[in-house]
Amino acid sequence: MLIALYNRVFEEADIPLLQHTFHLLKENNVRVTVFKDFYERMLPHIDFEQEPLLFTGYDDLSRNTNFMISLGGDGTMLDTVCFIGDTNIPIIGINLGRLGFLAAIPENEIDIALNGLIRGSYTIDKRTLVHLDSSIPLFGESPFALNEFTLHRKDTSSMIKIHTYLNGEFLNTYWADGLIVSTPTGSTGYSLSCSGPLVFPQTSSFVITPVAPHNLNIRPIVVPDDNVISFEIEGRTDNFLCTLDSRVETITREVQLAIKRERFTISLVRLDEHNFLKTIRQKLYWGIDSRN
């Protein structure tokens, strides 16, 4: 078995956990490949009992990798999506951050998680991605996102106008600070904070959510993910922000943009005792009565 490890914010406080992780993997004869920058930051602090393989991104990540372990928060886990791409390598998130909705496994359960991977005691959840088509090259070789695509104003405090179309048919003009198109997975993230609905991960849909809309009668809308969503942008400045998850590009109003469902999916590892309803109750306090 070959397991990849990724972390983007190395903390010395995590050294005991990391040392324990590498020891446990060696005890179970698991080969390890580590993100190169992460390895170099760990090197002065960790006793590697076996020399790991190294990778820097999608191109040199071994296609024989059985799992990718993300050590950090949800942002760290979103980074791994670009490394995995269309390889179908399952991702499991160990939460070393705060909320940890995607990276739902707490660090004190890392032994359970690793043993589950080794024994095969887990479930694979397939998650859809959003894909961006644009008239100029954007986001390099990874024009896709697990959580959401967004458009935002830039260089001004004024609202922008986003004319939005479904399969070429006019949907609405949003007078707002921006617009979010989220996947079901992303419905628990930025979209939720802008009053978007919670959507079950298995739902074949996109959620279109305005950011601070001026019109009171504008609300988030759920559309089938077999639609192509396109946009025209107007504003008082020439530049706007376009994002895929945590990655950002600056665009002008001349750039043509369209969103559709990506042709491949991402596989997320879920331990058997974890599920969506349990996670939203624990992390988002769904249905919790504070009077009790």
> Residue 160 carries which DSSP code?
E
Q: What is the pLDDT of residue 46?
A: 87
CA distance 268 to 102: 9
What mean pLDDT value characterizes the chain?
Answer: 91
Q: Do 38 and 6 touch, CB atoms closer than 8 A?
A: yes
261 sits in which H/E element: strand 257-261
Please, which pLDDT band fits residue 104 given cuts at 50, 70 and 90? confident
pLDDT band at 121 (very low <50, low <70, confident <90, very high): confident
Q: How confident is the model at residue 292 (pLDDT cuts 50, 70, 90)?
A: low
- pLDDT higher than threshold 90 for residue 97: no
Residue 99 belongs to what H/E stretch?
none
Q: In a 3-state reduction of DSSP, which class is residue 237?
A: coil
Burial 244-258 (b: 16+ CB within 10 A, else e): bbebebebeeebebe
pLDDT exceeds 90 at position 225: yes
d(CA 66, CA 1): 6
The average pLDDT across 112-119 equals 88
**With bands split at pLDDT 50, 70 and 90, how would you rate the model's confidence at 125?**
very high
Contact 130, 259 (CB under 8 A): yes
| Catalytic positions | 74
| pLDDT of res. 213 | 93
CATH 2.60.120.560 fits 130-261, yes or no: no
Question: Residue 195's pLDDT is what?
Answer: 93
Structure tokens at 271: 């331990």
Q: What is the pLDDT of residues 38-57, one digit of tens each?
A: 999 998 898 887 889 999 99
* Residue range(s) occupied by CATH 2.60.200.30 in the chain: 130-261
Task: CATH 3.40.50.10330 in the chain: give the residue spans.
Answer: 2-128+265-284
* Radius of gyration for the alpha carbons in the chain, expressed in angstroms and rounded: 20
- What confidence tens digit (pLDDT) does each residue in 246-255 have? 899 999 999 9
pLDDT over 90 at 99, yes or no: no
Answer positive or negative: Cα dihedral of 102, 107, 109, 113: positive
- pTM to 2 decimal places: 0.90
Kindly report the CATH number that applies to the domain delimited by 2-128+265-284: 3.40.50.10330
Two structure tokens written together for 181: 């198109």
Return the beta strands (E) in 38-183 as ranges: 53-55, 67-72, 91-95, 105-106, 122-127, 130-134, 144-145, 148-153, 160-166, 169-176, 178-182
Token pair of 140, please? Answer: 């390099």
Residue type at position 56: T
CA distance readout (Å), 185 to 109, 125, 181, 283: 23, 11, 11, 14
At 103 the pLDDT is 81
